[in-house]
Structure 1
Amino acid sequence: MKELEKTKRISIASVLFILVILIALLAYKRPKHLYSENTKSTLEKITTENYFTNLTELKDTNVVLIDVRSQFDFEKGHLENAVNIYAPEILNDTNSKFFDELKKNNNSVILYGNTPNEVIAPYMLLYQLGYKNIKILTAEITYSKNKVISKDVEIEKSKYDINGFIQESIKKASIKAKPKPEVVKTPKKIIPIKKKKKLPVEGGC
């Protein structure tokens, strides 16, 4: 009788365990956005590719200009034909579909903000998600008497070969360290010290 009860408990526990797993699998949602590039490959590519563009290249009709600033800044003044997509909202459902459509139609996308530094984070995010049709506008946006003033700024180029440094680091990491030679310890010789024999005490008077 006790064995039957034990069997029932085990079977009930097994059924409950399977139900929990099934519920977990049904409730699991695949992430909306999956990276197609990891950080390592992204760094390798952006150190060799030219991902900057200037104001003179905006005349291309295939280019879509995106302003990543806030709506307030955008309404104060923006570049002609620019679309406002605020950086923190760049991956919401509507904007994701918009970027997918631009990628499908082979449109070149140029991101800009008040300065090029403002665009680096959204650019890196989109690049890692597989949007390779994106560039950064090397321009600075300012205002004077309620008018937008845009001017090209020079991007400081690195004096160092970053890609070469990454490749060299990978090579060094793949080389196994040579094992240190084993030091054979020779046993110490213990020399016994002979005890001096005590002389017999001489008799007294």
Structure 2
Amino acid sequence: MKELEKIKRISIASTLFILAILIGLLTYKRPKNTYKYNSKSTLEKLSSQNYFVNLNDINNQNHVLVDIRSAYEFDKGHLTNAVNIHTPDLLDEKNLNIFKELKNTNKTAILYGNNPHEVNMPFLLLYQLGYDNIKLLTAENSYVQNKLITKNSDIEKSKADVTAFINASKKNGNVNTVIQNHTPKKTITVRKKKKKTTEGGC
């Protein structure tokens, strides 16, 4: 009787386990957004191309200005013909379709905010998702008596040649280093002298 009860318990447990796996497989959904480029390949690509645009270059038919600020700031003042997509709403399906359409029509999205630093994270996020048709506007926005003032902003450029550094690292990574065999040092063991028992007595 005890063996039959054990068999019943095992069969019930295995059935529940299989059901849990089936339910998990049936309800599994792939994430909508997956990275196309990892951090390493993104840095390699960005270090080899210029992704900055200043105010003098925005008057281009193939450029579409995207304001990543809030709707309040956008309504307060924005660049002419700019589209407002607030940073927290970048991954909404409607907004991603805008970037897909721009990519399909070979147009470049120029992201801008109050300053270039504000645009770094949205820019990197979209780039890693595969939207490599985006650039960053090097401009600062401010208000004087509720009027938008936009001026070019100087970006600090790296003095180091990142591409050369990456190429040198790749070359050094392929070189097999030869490790010389060193003869092990001889160790001399010194035996401790036993203490002699004290002689004498009463």
Gaps of 5+ in 2: none
Partners in 2 of 1:193 and 1:26 — Cα distance? 78
Q: Which moved more, 1:93-102 or 1:128-137?
A: 93-102
Gaps of 5+ in 1: 200-205
Structure showing greater radius of gyration is 1
SS at match of 1:143: strand
SS at match of 2:58: helix
Paired letter, 1:67: D
Partners in 1 of 2:133 and 2:28 — Cα distance? 32
**Aligned Cα RMSD in Å?**
3.0
Query: Is 1:28 the counterpart of 2:28 in the alignment?
Result: yes
Residue 158 (structure 1) aligns with? 158
CA drift at 1:27: 2.0
Residue 46 (structure 2) aligns with? 46
SS at match of 2:141: strand
Residue 202 (structure 1) aligns with? none
CA drift at 1:162: 2.8
Partners in 2 of 1:55 and 1:182 — Cα distance? 67
Residue 111 (structure 2) aligns with? 111
User: Residues 194 and 137 of structure 1: is their aligned pair in 2 closer, same or farther, counting only changes over 3 Å?
Assistant: closer
Residue 203 (structure 1) aligns with? none
Identity %: 54
Partners in 1 of 2:56 and 2:180 — Cα distance? 59
With normalisation by structure 2, the TM-score equals 0.84
Paired letter, 2:187: T
Residue 187 (structure 2) aligns with? 186
CA drift at 1:191: 7.8
SS at match of 1:59: coil
CA drift at 1:181: 4.1
Partners in 2 of 1:168 and 1:119 — Cα distance? 31
Q: Which moved more, 1:128-137 or 1:15-24?
A: 15-24
User: Residues 85 and 182 of structure 1: is their aligned pair in 2 closer, same or farther, counting only changes over 3 Å?
Assistant: farther
Q: Which moved more, 1:7-16 or 1:134-143?
A: 7-16
With normalisation by structure 1, the TM-score equals 0.83
Give per-residue Cα distances to partners, 1:25-47, cap 9 Å, x unaligned. Answer: 12222111100111111111111
Count of residues in correspondence between the two structures: 199
| 1:44-83 to 2 correspondences below 5 Å | 44-83=44-83
